[in-house]
Every structure is written in structure tokens, then in C-alpha cells.
Amino acid sequence: MSGVIETRALTRYFGNRKAVDGLTMTVPRGSVFAFLGRNGSGKTTTIRMLLGLTEPTRGSSRVLGYDSQALPPDARARIGYMSESHTLYNWLTVRQCGEYQSRFYPRWNDRIFQAVVGHFRLHPSAKAGQLSRGERAGLSLAITLAPEPELLILDDPALGLDPVARRSLLESMIYVTRGADRTIFFSSHLLEDVERVADYLAILDRSVLRACCPIETFRSHVKQFLLRYGGNATPPAQLPSLPGLLHVRRSRAELRLTIAGANEQTQRLLRTLGADAVEETPVGFNDALVGYLGDRGEQGFFLEDTTALEMAGNKS
């Protein structure tokens, strides 16, 4: 089955700088898909290309079956997009913002608008220009959700929200999944929220896609190994080439390795490092992800949708 969003070798340069490099991914219908990566890794540029707001230098993307660069208005009306900056008409009141937006959508559900506005405790007669960052996010979200879009694209929706507003955002996202076949594609830095609501993830690192798979696949393929050295033995100064090595933490008598896609061969290699004991230790979602995005993360590794792992070339 084809995805709600499909990109093929999507690439964008700004001058000499690569913002997005050969991104190929599929967002399955009905998924809550987290789009992760550090600041400046190309997430916003990708989102803008999906919506046809930025042109790709190379490659293409399709959203709801249409080329992003030629989205017809009725397809656009089925997409709810919330940008990082929450563009609102500052001179309108909360109520007027809703009324104004509702005219563009045949399927505007005012009950949803009111519910989200209520959730964020916005006063209907408050001017949009006088709202706090969190309140603006709430109003933006109400406007985005009210047309009951089939596909929600949220660019860092939790940015600047206080804990209560964050909870409202999560509740709203879970509420949206009540509609069968609704898809949410969102970027975020709040890994706890991602762990709660997302079932798929993609990781963008320095403009390159590093993983695109169900969260469970990601978790089960990133493992941590603890190598302990007793007596006078110490960890080797130089490690052999370990496929999928993401992160190394050393101390005098210990070596802690975070490895993606470890298999029998990895285990054999680890046993040649002279440690007294090699133990597999559980790794949390946060650690796994930080392992991916940390400076020592290996570039030549890609985690795919299927359980099969693909090595993108040998480590250079």
C-alpha cells in the first residue's frame, strides 16, 4: 500500500549548503509519525517541501497521492499544517480567528475548535496579538484541527509549551487518532512525548535520513553492551570496526557500547576485546536516540522499516 507521504531522493540546497540530502521515506496511513533530528538537520525544510512551500533542488515528494509541487486545493484542504511560527492575524480575536478560518473549509467542525480553545483556556474575545507563546500554539492547533484534516503536519508543535499545554497537545493528538485513517506527521524534541504518542519514527541527522521504522523496531535494534575489565586489564585504546556502533562510553574498567543492529557476529567481535564479562543491558528510548544523534554516531548506518538491516556502504 502506498503511503500518505512519499518522498524520493528529496534534496534541497541553499547555496552550497545541503539542507536535505536524498531523503526517501514513506509515511504509512494511520500512523503517528515522529520526525526527529537536531536543530538544523533539515526537518522544517522537508516539511515545507512536502507542502509545496519550498521547491526541491532534486527529487520529489507526493502527499495524499499528489505531487507536492502541484497540490490541488481540495487536497490542500485535507491537510492540516501548523508551522513553527504560528502565523495568526494579530488584530483578530480568538473567536474571529475561528470564524475567519472556517470560511475556507467546507468541513469545519466548530465543536472541535471550541474544545481545543477551551482546553488551552483561551478567552474568545482575547486578541491573537496579545496571546502568550503557548496560547498562540493552542489557537493555532484549534484552527488546524477544526477542519478535521486527514493528514496533520505539525512542525514542532510542543515548542515553548508549558507542561499543562503540552498535555493538552498530547490529548488533542490522541483524540485525532479516533478517526480511522488519520495520519499525524510531527517533528519534536520532546522524546517523552514521542515515546508516548508516536508509533513510527524517522531520524534526520545532518540532512541525511538515518532511520525510518516503527518505534518498536527502533527500540529492539538499538542495544547496549557493557564490557567489564577486572584486575589490571583495561579496555583497548583502539576499537576494531564494529558495524552499527553508535556510541562509546569508557571508564577505567568499563566499556559501554551502544550498537544498532547487533547480531551474532557483533557478539563474537565483542568477546575478542579481552573483557571479563560482556553483558547486554537494556537501553531507554532517549539513550538510543541520543546515541544516534551524538557526535560519535556512525554515519554509514541506516535502520529500515523491515527487520532486515541495511548497511549503507562500509564504514570509511
Return residues touching another protein (CB under 8 A).
32, 167, 170-171, 174-175, 177-178, 191-192, 195-199, 215-216, 219, 279, 282-286
For another protein, the closer of residues 105 and 285 by Cβ is 285
For another protein, the closer of residues 84 and 195 by Cβ is 195
DSSP secondary structure code for residue 66 in this structure: E
Minimum Å gap between C-beta 271 and another protein is: 17
User: Around Cβ 279, how many Cβ atoms within 10 Å?
Assistant: 11
For another protein, the closer of residues 7 and 217 by Cβ is 217
Q: How far apart are the first and last CA of the chain?
A: 36
Q: What backbone phi and psi angles, to 5 degrees, belong to 31?
A: -90, 160
Minimum Å gap between C-beta 253 and another protein is: 14
For another protein, the closer of residues 122 and 191 by Cβ is 191
For another protein, the closer of residues 286 and 299 by Cβ is 286
For 170, counting Cβ atoms within 10 Å of its Cβ (0-12 exposed, 13-18 middle, 19+ buried), the class is middle
Query: d(Cα 55, Cα 69) in Å, to the nearest integer?
Result: 7
Q: Where do we find the cell 538510543?
A: 288
For another protein, the closer of residues 43 and 219 by Cβ is 219
CA 55 to chain centre: 21
Query: d(Cα 252, Cα 229) in Å, to the nearest integer?
Result: 8
Nearest to 250 by CA among 268, 272, 234, 232: 234
Minimum Å gap between C-beta 113 and another protein is: 20
For another protein, the closer of residues 115 and 170 by Cβ is 170
Nearest to 90 by CA among 127, 124, 120: 127
Secondary-structure percent of the chain, ordered helix, strand, coil, rounded to 5: 30, 30, 40
Minimum Å gap between C-beta 124 and another protein is: 26
For another protein, the closer of residues 170 and 239 by Cβ is 170
The CA–CA distances, whole Å, from 315 to 218, 245, 297, 305 equal 21, 10, 12, 21
Minimum Å gap between C-beta 172 and another protein is: 11
For another protein, the closer of residues 279 and 310 by Cβ is 279
The answer to whether the CB of 275 falls within 8 A of the CB of 229 is yes
Query: d(Cα 284, Cα 1) in Å, to the nearest integer?
Result: 32
Minimum Å gap between C-beta 220 and another protein is: 9
In sign, the C-alpha dihedral spanning 252, 276, 261, 214 is negative
Minimum Å gap between C-beta 206 and another protein is: 25
The torsion region of residue 51 among left (phi > 0), alpha (psi -120 to 50) and beta comes to alpha
Minimum Å gap between C-beta 219 and another protein is: 5
Minimum Å gap between C-beta 282 and another protein is: 4
